[in-house]
Amino acid sequence: MEASVRTVVCTDAEALASEAAGWLCERALASNGRFAVCLAGGSTPRRLYENLASEPLNGRFPWPRVHWFWGDERFVPQDSDDSNYRMARAAMLDRVPVPPGNVHAVDTRLLNPAAAAEAYERNLQAFYGATSFDRARPLFDVMLLGLGEDGHTASLFPGSAALAEREAWAVAVVGERPQARITLTYPAIESSRDVAFIVSGRGKRDVVEAIRRGENLPAARIKPAGNLHWFLDRDAI
Ligand code: 6PG
């Protein structure tokens, strides 16, 4: 698979959400059969999800054959305002005809973050049909990622032991942020046909510039099996 890197700059956050949602819809429509999307958390992608769940895209998107995963999750109840699962449900999944079996959330009702990470890894491997990656057969069709001001993505934070994890597909991240997290590791994130960063706002300008300068920040280390896309608004560059 010949990888490529593409940057799309949009006039503002609303245009960014619309452009990225349209792109995701076209990627799904261009595919056949099962299509796996791994969602980003945080606040930036909310409008993207709302766009996808609204006219005209919601009538075109192939909801019945698309499966939904999360790149990371806070270890909080699924109805918590801090839950990435809750955000995606409210912005999109509860508003469109998604088969319940197509939603693969991190189960934060389990005993502890490590148990949640292990269960999530088992679910990912059951979906993929193997316990090791084949670079020619990506786990995800599209991986959406946000970018933190410190250069983190998902819950891969600077200096974290999770950055070195090359075997597990998902790990618990405890003590690095106020809430414990579960995050996909680099091997799982990179097992994607298309990885798309969605970055908006003046607050991200410095970190975007640092990545452009080649700083070895966690987000900059993503080497997808497939294509890498940066969707940015003008405030972020
Ligand atoms: C999370 C996200 C995290 C997020 C970035 C950017 O759970 O918080 O996965 O990686 O994408 O922190 O967040 P904003 O979009 O809110 O700036």
CA of 73 to the centre of ligand 1 (A): 10
CA-nearest residue for atom 7, ligand 1, is: 41
Secondary structure (3-state) at 9: strand
CA distance 84 to 56: 25
Q: Please count the other Cβ atoms lying within 10 Å of the Cβ belonging to residue 203.
A: 12
CA of 168 to the centre of ligand 1 (A): 22
Atom of ligand 1 nearest to the CA of 199: 15
Q: Which atom of ligand 1 is nearest to the CA of 183?
A: 9
Give the closest residue to 141 by CA, choosing from 25, 45, 9, 42: 25
Strand 140-145 to 35-39 pairing:
parallel
With a 6 Å cutoff on the Cβ, whether 41 touches ligand 1 is: yes
Cα of 211 vs centre of ligand 1, distance in Å, is: 17
Dihedral sign (CA 91, 97, 99, 100): positive
Q: Check pocket membership of 40 for ligand 1, CB cut-off 6 A.
A: yes
From the alpha carbon of 198, which atom of ligand 1 is closest?
15
Residue with CA closest to ligand 1 atom 10? 154
Q: Identify the residue whose C-alpha is closest to ligand 1 atom 15.
A: 44
- Which has the closest alpha carbon to 49: 73, 26, 21, 30? 21
pLDDT digits (tens), the chain, 237 positions? 457 899 999 999 999 999 999 999 999 999 999 999 999 999 999 999 999 999 999 999 999 999 999 999 999 999 999 999 999 999 999 999 999 999 999 999 999 999 999 999 999 999 999 999 999 999 999 999 999 999 999 999 999 999 999 999 999 999 999 999 999 999 999 999 999 999 999 999 999 999 999 999 999 999 988 899 999 999 999
Q: Which atom of ligand 1 is nearest to the CA of 73?
A: 7
Q: Is the beta carbon of 146 within 6 A of some atom in ligand 1?
A: yes
